[in-house]
Homo-oligomer: A and B are copies of this chain.
């Protein structure tokens, strides 16, 4: 179930179809990048992903990773997320249904959450303005449980890893 041949089958097919529909071409680099992207449970910048790919194929360049992420976004396999530090992060949907983010401004931890009520209210709100929503982004900034406690020590300086915490769905 987790061997390379069968994993990410759906995603790979979606990608293939998108490539064909757009008259583009299937390449080894694109395959590898998608594979590694899906395999990684973190929010990645193009740069981050580049280094991961480097480990397995040192000939792949920044540009290709960058362009492939754009491609994956078009294909609906990736989503761009901004946490406010000026960088563009990407996340995939594999194992992660639609969700929003809480971001700890101290340690950079990212908590994924989902609230059906909030979603519903957003649509309601949009309706009132005749606005047709395509997508949305809700970020709650603040301090995570842990960083609230260790407030006594001199706070470690900002933005660490950006660990993608296992999605917890509470509605």
- B138-A113 in contact (CB<8A): no
Bound complex: CA of A84 vs CA of B136, how far in Å?
11
A129 to B165, CA, bound (A): 12
- A143 near B134 with CB under 8 A, answer yes
Which residues of the other chain, B, contact A40 by a CB distance below 8 angstroms? none
Interface size class of A (residues with CB under 8 A): 35 or more
Q: Is the CB of B113 within 8 A of A125?
A: yes
Query: Smallest Cβ distance from A169 to chain B, in angstroms?
Result: 11
CA distance A142 to B125 in the complex (A): 13
Bound CA span A170–B128, Å: 8
29 CB-based A-B contacts, threshold 8 Å: A82-B84, A102-B129, A105-B134, A111-B129, A113-B125, A113-B128, A115-B125, A117-B121, A118-B118, A118-B122, A125-B170, A128-B170, A130-B148, A131-B140, A131-B143, A131-B145, A132-B142, A132-B148, A133-B140, A133-B142, A136-B138, A136-B139, A136-B140, A136-B141, A137-B137, A137-B139, A137-B141, A138-B138, A138-B139
